[in-house]
């Protein structure tokens, strides 16, 4: 087990290292000075751009730039943000990381709350209309371009239904208001009941009823 875990960790390290190398080579293959291409603010003077290039280690040879690049990545020094100059990249990430984590957590919980009971339901409805409907719907949402789907959902829930704001971030205490929590519990309860009903209609219980002389006895 320890050897397997160590081998997996080594694979992750090698894959990450190769990814860093490919990204570095892509930046090197870009024509011109890519510091000018990514610093979109025209108010930045050439002296500041030169100082930024020296700080990022872009004034030396290609090998020196690569060593500087890998060392900064593994030490957590991500440099200065081109978009929010002169703020550090890590400061920008820390500012948005909690909200991003909340979005990922809510998305995973919704995916589990919907996917688990639906998966159990169609498992006992193989070949029926409900199986095809759920499968086609899942494949459709999986293949749709994610930003396009996000825009559609934003339009529906914000402009059409008016349930959420189109932007911004509300206080977490407002998420658990009394009108919301009972509805969420009711949805989860309904999904659980549908899953149990799907199990009762499965082939295993049908076989069990056929082979048992008194089905009411074991079903209690």
pLDDT of residue 141: 75
pLDDT category at 218 given cuts 50, 70, 90 is very low
For the stretch 151-207, pLDDT in tens is 887 888 888 887 777 766 666 555 555 554 555 555 666 667 666 666 666 565 566
For the stretch 108-120, pLDDT in tens is 888 788 878 887 7
Query: Ramachandran region of residue 76, left (φ > 0), alpha (ψ -120 to 50) or beta?
Result: left
For the stretch 18-60, pLDDT in tens is 888 888 888 777 766 655 555 555 666 777 777 767 776 677 7
Nearest to 119, CA basis, from 191, 189, 184, 208: 191
pLDDT of residue 66: 85
For the stretch 70-109, pLDDT in tens is 888 888 777 777 677 677 788 888 887 887 888 788 878 8
Kindly report the pTM of this predicted structure.
Answer: 0.45
**Cα(123)–Cα(198) distance, rounded to whole angstroms?**
8
Helix orientation angle between 89-123 and 181-200, rounded to the nearest 10 degrees: 40
**Cα(197)–Cα(205) distance, rounded to whole angstroms?**
11
Residue 125 clears pLDDT 50, i.e. is over it: yes
What letters, b where the CB count within 10 A reaches 16 and e where it falls short, cover 172-185? eeeeeeeeeeeeee
pLDDT of residue 219: 45
């Amino acid at each position: 087990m320890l050897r397997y875990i160590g081998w997996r960790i080594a694979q992750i390290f090698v894959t990450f290292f190769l990814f860093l190398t490919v990204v570095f080579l892509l930046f090197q293959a870009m024509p011109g000075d890519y510091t000018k291409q990514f610093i979109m603010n025209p108010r930045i003077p050439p002296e500041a751009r030169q100082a930024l290039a020296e700080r990022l280690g872009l004034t030396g040879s290609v090998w020196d730039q690569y060593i500087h690049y890998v060392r900064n990545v593994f030490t957590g020094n991500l440099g200065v943000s081109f978009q929010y100059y002169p703020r550090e990249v890590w400061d920008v990430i820390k500012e948005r990381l909690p909200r991003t984590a909340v979005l990922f957590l809510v998305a995973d919980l919704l995916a589990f709350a919907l996917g688990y009971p639906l998966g159990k339901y169609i498992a006992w409805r193989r070949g029926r209309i409900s199986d095809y409907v759920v499968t086609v719907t899942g494949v459709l949402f999986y293949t749709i371009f994610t930003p396009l789907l996000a825009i559609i959902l934003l339009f529906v829930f914000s402009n059409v239904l008016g349930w959420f704001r189109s932007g911004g971030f509300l206080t977490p205490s407002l998420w658990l208001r009394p009108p919301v929590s009972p509805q969420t519990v009711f949805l989860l309860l309904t999904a659980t009941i549908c899953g149990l009903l799907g199990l009762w209609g499965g082939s295993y219980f049908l076989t069990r009823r056929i082979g048992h002389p008194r089905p009411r006895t074991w079903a209690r």
